[in-house]
Structure 1
Amino acid sequence: MSFVLVYGSEAILPYELKVKPTRVHLVGGTDQELPRIDDLNVIKEACEVALVREATYQQALRRLYEKTVKKRSFKVGNLILRLIQSNVGKNKVSSKWEGPYHIVGSPRPGAYYLEKDDIAYSNTWNLVQLRRSYP
């Protein structure tokens, strides 16, 4: 009765178990445990370095954004222009803005209720779609 021991993708024959060629010495045993633990530690350290680099990149990106973006807001009673949403009947020389509108209220930052000629609109308008109007 003969048997074949399979280790990984290679087969170890019974006579190799008695003779122990170099292939068997290099593959098997507890000698491989320490290098494998070292490899795992190196991988963990590389992951930690990557996390630190990602955090510093995110902080630099946030600082750049805060430096370049101008924060703006409107107060109740300001005159503003509203972006025209529809392209029907527009040509290249027609205005992109309509108004002026008065700001009536603000339910949350960046959203505003508008009024024109004492007619209040029930929907809110985002800050991106509004622009200050100077009389």
Structure 2
Amino acid sequence: MKKVAIIGVGITPFRARYLDKTYFELAYDATKLALEDANKNGAEITHNNLESTVYGIYNELFERQFMPDIFINSYIGMNNKPGTRIASGGATGGYTVRMAYSEVASGLSDLCLCLGVEKCNDCYDENLWYFSIYH
């Protein structure tokens, strides 16, 4: 197995609500920050150099979008490159890192983007409120 290293990290600031950004815009921001971090020591890595992506997206309901990883894949410029979505409850983050590690260690990819995405506050639905006991 190949040696594996994390070469860049990007985290969007935590907020209770991001009313001005979609989940795929937040994913783009985190990806951009990770690439900037990876390039601090003179490397010139862009999304074109990334060979695959592993997405940690626990629940489609939170994003209000079926298969949200496909939309993120396009938005961050990873069209026609393999992507794997991990959804394993509370262990989603850990399994996402594990899968990205395996992707590189096995030789399937030299550079793999490991991306966790979730925006829980978008799952509010007025219809649920209307039919609730509080109405």
Higher relative contact order, chain-length normalized (CA < 8 Å, sep 6+): 2
TM-score when scaled to structure 2? 0.17
TM-score when scaled to structure 1? 0.17
Larger radius of gyration: 1
